[in-house]
Structure 1
Amino acid sequence: MKYRQLGKSGLMVSELCLGAMSFGGDGYWKVVGALDYPSSKKLVDMALDAGVNFFDTADVYSHGQSEEILGKAIKEKRNEIVLATKVRGRMSKDINDVGLSRKHIIDSCNQSLRRLGTDYIDLYVMHSFDPITPLEETLGALSDLVHQGKVRYIGASNFTAWQLMKALAVSKENHFEKFVSLQAIYSLISRDVEYELVPLLRDQGLGLTPWSPLGGGFLSGKYRKDKPMPEDSRRTNEQQNFIPIDLDKGYAIVDALEEIANNHKASISQAALNYLLRKPAVSSVLIGATKPHQLEDNLQATNWEMSPEEVSRLDELSKLNPIYPHWMLQFTYMDRTSVENFF
Structure 2
Amino acid sequence: MHTLALGRSGLRVSGVALGTMNFGTDLQAPTSEPEAHRIVGAFLDAGHNLIDTADTYRGGGSEEIVGRAIASRRADVVLATKGAAPQGVGPNHRGLSRAHLTRALEASLRRLGTDYVDLYQCHVADPDTPIEETMATLDGFVRAGKVRYIGCSNFTAAGIVSAQWAAQRGAGTPLVSLQANYSVMARAIEAEILPTCVQSGLGVLAYSPLGSGLLAGRYRRDTPPEAGSRLAQWADMPSPMARDFVAGVLAPRHFDIRDEVAAVAAALHTTTATIALAWLARRPSITSVILGPRTVDQLTAGLAGLAFDLPEQAAARLDAASQFTVVPPTNGQHRAALRSGVSRSVDKW
Q: How does the TM-score come out when normalised to structure 1?
A: 0.86
Indicate the SS of the match to 2:99: helix
CA contact (8 A) 1:202 1:280 kept: no
Partner residue, 2:159:
163
CA contact (8 A) 2:212 2:249 kept: no
- Which has the greater radius of gyration? 1
Q: Deviations over 1:232-251 (max 9, x none)?
A: 54333315762514644333
Quote the Cα distance in structure 2 between the aligned partners of 1:25 and 1:210.
26
Q: CA deviation at 1:21?
A: 0.8
Structure-2 change in CA distance of 1:106 and 1:229 (3 Å): closer
- Mapped pair 1:206 → 2:202: yes
Partner residue, 1:190:
186
Indicate the SS of the match to 2:211: coil
Matches within 5 A, 1:1-343: 2-24=2-24, 26=26, 30=28, 33-225=29-221, 230-237=226-233, 238=235, 239=237, 242-243=245-246, 244-245=248-249, 247-262=251-266, 266-324=270-328
Quote the Cα distance in structure 1 between the aligned partners of 2:18 and 2:44.
10
Between 305-314 and 131-140, the greater mean CA deviation after superposition: 305-314
Aligned-partner residue type, residue 277 of structure 2: L
Structure-2 change in CA distance of 1:209 and 1:75 (3 Å): same
Q: CA deviation at 1:231?
A: 4.9
Q: Deviations over 1:138-170 (max 9, x none)?
A: 111111111111101000011111111111111
CA contact (8 A) 2:278 2:307 kept: no
The number of residue pairs the alignment matches comes to 322
Q: CA deviation at 1:262?
A: 4.8
* Structure 2 unpaired stretches of 5+: 331-349
Q: CA deviation at 1:316?
A: 1.0
Indicate the SS of the match to 1:293: helix
Indicate the SS of the match to 2:294: coil
Structure-2 change in CA distance of 1:229 and 1:108 (3 Å): closer
Partner residue, 2:337:
none
Quote the Cα distance in structure 2 between the aligned partners of 1:231 and 1:169.
46
* Structure 1 unpaired stretches of 5+: 327-343
Indicate the SS of the match to 2:212: coil
Q: CA deviation at 1:48?
A: 1.6
CA contact (8 A) 1:55 1:82 kept: yes
Q: Deviations over 1:288-332 (max 9, x none)?
A: 122232222112123233233322211111111231269xxxxxx
Quote the Cα distance in structure 2 between the aligned partners of 1:194 and 1:180.
18
Quote the Cα distance in structure 2 between the aligned partners of 1:205 and 1:265.
39
Aligned identity (percent) is 40
